[in-house]
Structure 1
């Protein structure tokens, strides 16, 4: 039993410390707990030349130093480690920009912290700085962006957001083409990590339905829903015929569903079919 516990502790120790690709430093001497703050054993890893603001080192060398001090670290995901001198600049304008952008995308977001770090040493940052982000930045809680300085030089920075987002979930099993409403959905806060598609944080402004079957407690994304067509299949519609300024109307049955301005097929009372354009809610215009 004691041997089993010892092996378990060794296993936990082996995989507790995963080396990252980037670290910031204030002083040129890098210690073990600069990389892993919760490491009880403190020892020197390297000393960066004082004239350097950026230093790159093979992860194998760092791992060997830890090994010589009786600590195993995981470098499976890291080949080289970049050390960047911490920039004495205030990232508040960029943090506020990020805060506004995430609030716009997710009105139900509750942001705890926003962290920004530069990939190189920055001596200054103008107050009117604006970051340039990827079009789908909002799908991930961390990423990279850049800005241009006064000389037009591009500078890259990394950001990380700790937050929770209120996302609509199904309260029961829902079927394809079932209308989405407050009766089959509920807003639940979830940790913000990454999304393959934008989640719904509120019921759509326009009548919508599910595009596929979903299990109970499933998060709902934009890909899961679609707008309910103005005309549904087998629904009775009003057909308009315009002739020299005169509008004649009669009833028919839609044999297809259609959105605004779609061309669909209708069936008249005599059984004959015709083409018609969707012009409104349950209204079509004969073509």
Structure 2
């Protein structure tokens, strides 16, 4: 019997539901299925006091109520749960704003759904209201932004985006400084997720290479690549020497790599070294 109980508890734990920090309500009586629509058992969790548009409760209290009804839920990092009365406000203008912002960043993105929840009850929303988002909003599928009321008060809202984005992946192990190409990468659709930097949705317009060794199947972002220098180390370059209207050219060896307008060191045929500015592909100007 004890073994059966342990197995039952373990099964419940594997199928546990994770409690979120924020929920909306219409009916002040909150039931289990208001928090988890797919939960098999319906029972009362709490009753929001009359007249309240916001209510906060310790997550442990909710977890204990579920436990008393034979269901284990996961709290994760949730310490308190906030209930906000569902607003009749239409958020379609803010959703459209966010959608257009995402499309500007990712022209190939496929957006399925955008959800916006206010952190507090909102009675109305001006037609010209615009959201203020974090500058790196496009690197996350969810986040927080704010709007300004007519009185200049900030009202915060949470958003989440369900979308699919085609992103470049490595299709084999690549080496540091290996050129980025269609031979060592492949475009795969993935759900919009948290990225450390802007993901690559296509091959860059300018020649690029990998910054480090990467394994096959790696999602590629801007931090994984760098522009290929116009001048490479130990490469022969054309050196220009200008003196008024007179231009003299000779061949030297670059002892450093450099991007456009970088100052690098070159070595002349007599072994002497000098400073030169990168002016083009395999071309420098003596300084």
TM-score, reference length from structure 1: 0.94
Please give the residue correspondences for 1:133-152 in structure 2 after superposition, counting only pairs within 5 Å: 133-152=133-152
Deviation digits for residues 162-197 of structure 1 (CA, Å, limit 9, x no counterpart): 111111111222111111111211101112221122
Match in the other structure for 1:174? 174
Give the alignment's Cα RMSD to 1 decimal: 1.7
3-state secondary structure, aligned to 1:248 = strand
Deviation digits for residues 229-257 of structure 1 (CA, Å, limit 9, x no counterpart): 11111111111111122111111111111
Please give the residue correspondences for 1:199-214 in structure 2 after superposition, counting only pairs within 5 Å: 199-214=199-214
3-state secondary structure, aligned to 1:108 = coil
Deviation digits for residues 124-172 of structure 1 (CA, Å, limit 9, x no counterpart): 1112111111121111101111110111111110111111111111122
3-state secondary structure, aligned to 1:70 = coil
Cα distance, 1:96 vs structure 2: 0.8
Native 8 Å contact 2:255 2:265 kept in 1: yes
Unaligned runs of 5+ in 2: none
Match in the other structure for 2:283? 283
Native 8 Å contact 2:139 2:196 kept in 1: yes
Deviation digits for residues 32-74 of structure 1 (CA, Å, limit 9, x no counterpart): 1111111222111122123110011122222232233333323
Native 8 Å contact 2:168 2:202 kept in 1: yes
Please give the residue correspondences for 1:43-192 in structure 2 after superposition, counting only pairs within 5 Å: 43-192=43-192
Deviation digits for residues 200-235 of structure 1 (CA, Å, limit 9, x no counterpart): 111111111111111122111111111111111111
Native 8 Å contact 2:30 2:44 kept in 1: yes
Quote the Cα distance in structure 1 between the aligned partners of 2:139 and 2:146. Answer: 18
Match in the other structure for 2:12? 13
Deviation digits for residues 51-110 of structure 1 (CA, Å, limit 9, x no counterpart): 110011122222232233333323352221111000101111111111111112222221
Provide closer, same or farther for how the CA distance between residues 96 and 258 of structure 1 changes in structure 2, counting only shifts above 3 A.
same
Unaligned runs of 5+ in 1: none
Quote the Cα distance in structure 2 between the aligned partners of 1:28 and 1:243. Answer: 84
Provide closer, same or farther for how the CA distance between residues 5 and 128 of structure 1 changes in structure 2, counting only shifts above 3 A.
farther
Please give the residue correspondences for 1:224-235 in structure 2 after superposition, counting only pairs within 5 Å: 224-235=224-235
Aligned residue-pair number: 286
Match in the other structure for 2:25? 25
Provide closer, same or farther for how the CA distance between residues 217 and 73 of structure 1 changes in structure 2, counting only shifts above 3 A.
closer
Cα distance, 1:4 vs structure 2: 5.9
